[in-house]
Amino acid sequence: MSRTHVVVIGGGYAGTLAANRLGVRPDIDVTLINPRPVFVERIRLHQHVAGTGAATADYAELLGAHVTVVVDTAEAIDAAGRRVTLASGATVGYDYLIYTAGSTGPMPPQVPGTAEFAYSLDEFEQAERLRHRLRALPDGATVTVVGGGLTGIEAATELAETGHRVRLLGGGRIGPSLSEPGRRSVTKALHRLGVSVLDTAVVAQVRPDAVVLADRIVLTSAVTVWTAGFGVAGLAAASGLPTDPLGRLRTDETLTCIADPRIVAAGDAAAPSGAPLRMSCQAALPMGAQAAETVLARIGGTPPAALDQAFVGQCISLGRKRGTIQLSRFDDTPTAMFLGGRLAAAVKETICKTTVRAIRREAAKPGTYRWLRGGDRRLADPAPQQGVHA
């Protein structure tokens, strides 16, 4: 029996689910390339920073026996030669490639001081650096969180609940992806925890001990946490593959690269038909499964299916005791309905645990993962929301 080798670049939610699902065929070998030896639960990085929860899991507990993990960074994709060059200098050949390189929160070069003085919690190593800095803060020091998206809200509330003095700068609006009732629920929780909220404040400069606003007001800040913005790795573009303006790999509705049928993409780094899905594990897991199904179809000589998944809402942690579940239509647009308070916190925690369990279950029984279908891609909003959420 001839064997097929599939390389998966990126060991996040989409990549691990895709790698596990390929185990439905015993003649497929999978190599997963990831820069760190552990799986990072990005939806828990705000907990890691605040010291309220762990955010990593062992790949040995998450991946099937058919998956080999290579701890390295992919630096170039040679589509013609079907091989990936790694930072170590090694190369890995493939029959098919699944591109799940994920996303990051870049520091904006147009805002002086962000690269030198601002902290991020978008990647595990950045979150670890921020965690150590917060531990060294004197009592009463102000932590400024920049960005009113879901990541900023979760970081601000988690830090405030653990005793930090927190200021949240919205940059225009708090919770732009929420409905008005959902936004009021979140704002109420922020005020309850003592977070100073400046909805429309825009940062023009970051200093070691302050932030300067666009109107030249200077606010003292012992630590500035930057959660605004969206970016992806430059691997696809640097490798000469077609990308959208933000660097996401351009695919058709089967998640196949528009320039190479042997390359498939999923998660934050994919732009199917120019309309990427909102960055979230709610999108990443089904996309990972469907990317694997596309590869399986091509190996089997059958037409791959078009992307088909629906959303149900957005889950927001507001510390450990409260949360907000913003319900949505299948196309991911918010409705006026939401769930708040302690029950919402319990639901969010259950979903976070269930996400990792789904990856484990797919490793044990490939092909068993199911997802909600019926989302209308014609109505999807391609604008990214910073942060990964359930």
Residues 90 and 167 in one domain: no
Is the pLDDT at 387 greater than 70? The verdict is no
Q: Is residue 86 part of a domain?
A: yes
Q: Select from 279, 306, 333 the last residue of a domain.
A: 306
Cβ atoms < 10 Å from Cβ of 217: 11
Clarify whether residues 246 and 184 are in a common domain: no
| 222 shares a domain with 248 | no
The number of distinct structural domains making up the chain is 2
- 101 lies in the same domain as 234: yes
Claim to verify: residue 82 and residue 158 sit in the same structural domain: no
Tell me: do 94 and 131 sit in the same domain.
no
Same structural domain for residues 222 and 119? yes
CB within 8 Å of 167: residues ≥ 6 apart: 142, 143, 144, 145, 195, 196, 197, 198, 219, 221
How many H helices and E strands in the chain? 10, 25
Looking at 226, 250, 268, which one is the last position of a domain? 226
Q: Which of 77, 59, 103, 25 is nearest to 293 (CA)?
A: 25
Give the whole-angstrom CA distance, residue 340 versus residue 181.
10
Q: Which domain holds residue 121?
A: 114-226
Residue 375 lies inside a defined structural domain of this protein:
no
pLDDT digits (tens, 9 = 90+) for 267-299: 999 999 999 999 899 999 999 999 999 999 999
> Is residue 89 in some structural domain?
yes
pLDDT tens digits, one per residue of 96-112: 999 999 998 888 889 99
Residue 346 lies in a domain: no
The model's pTM is 0.95
Do 146 and 289 fall into the same domain?
A: no
Answer whether residue 59 shows pLDDT above 70. yes
Mean pLDDT of the chain: 95
